[in-house]
Amino acid sequence: MARCRIRGYAVVVMDAASNPTTTIDGSSSDRAAADSALQRSREAFISHWGEMGSSWGVPRSMAEIHALLFIEGRPMNADEIMDRLQISRGNVSTTLRQLADWGIVTRVRQRGDRKDYFEAEQDVWNLLSLIVRARKRRELEPLLAALEDAKSLAIGASDSDTDDPKAVKAHVARLDSMNDALRRLDRLSDRFIGRGGKGLDVAVRLLASLL
């Protein structure tokens, strides 16, 4: 520690072994406080995104890994992700593959580094359209196929002497009603998400103008 005098004011200058955040003008201390606030904001976003993912049926670790990559806005490797989120390497590796399959995370390489790095889609509307497309493929399309199977079984039951024809007809009508509604949503989603993020942005703006 050294002591100097500037225009009549005694100023303590700390060496590297002392408090590294204290400088003559206090700028390092202010910067450290700002970094801490920024870090808390990032952690809050990751936590809330994880909670939202869980409510949607998405594993919390998957939602948090995606949130981390998105909010950091830079490529990160598996070791960094493990360290930040305190989760296992196997979980990180499996989740990154799934996120890549969804199209919302991309594998990239860093010059001079043999590790694989991953970065999240940063265009929000394109990101949301990719999520909608992935969930449509995983959930809506299998449901439509299941409705068709159920209808086929019901039509076969209409030839049976044990089933009331009126009950079968009403059952098929309910299946057709559900099938029709879901297929309309399917066509609507194809119309907008097929255009990428811009299409979804247009759809939301149109709906907002009607509210």
CA–CA separation, 28 and 22 (whole Å):
6
Q: Give pLDDT tens digits for 87-118.
A: 999 999 999 999 999 889 999 998 889 899 99
Average pLDDT, the chain: 79
Do 144 and 183 contact (CB within 8 A), yes or no? yes
The pLDDT of residue 202 is above 90:
no
77 closest CA partner among 110, 101, 40, 32: 110
Q: Return the domain boundaries, the chain.
A: 43-120, 124-210
pLDDT of residue 18: 44
For domain 43-120, the CATH architecture is Orthogonal Bundle (1.10)
The tens digit of pLDDT for each residue in 104-159 reads 999 999 888 989 999 999 988 888 888 878 778 888 889 999 999 999 888 876 66
173 closest CA partner among 189, 188, 187, 158: 158
**Which amino acid type is present at position 170?**
A
| pLDDT the model gives residue 77 | 97
Containing H/E element for 53?
A: helix 27-55
Cβ contact 204:189 at 8 Å: no
By the 10 Å C-beta count (0-12 exposed, 13-18 middle, 19+ buried), 90 is classed as: exposed
- Name the pLDDT band for 27 (thresholds 50, 70, 90): low
pLDDT for residue 47 is more than 80: yes
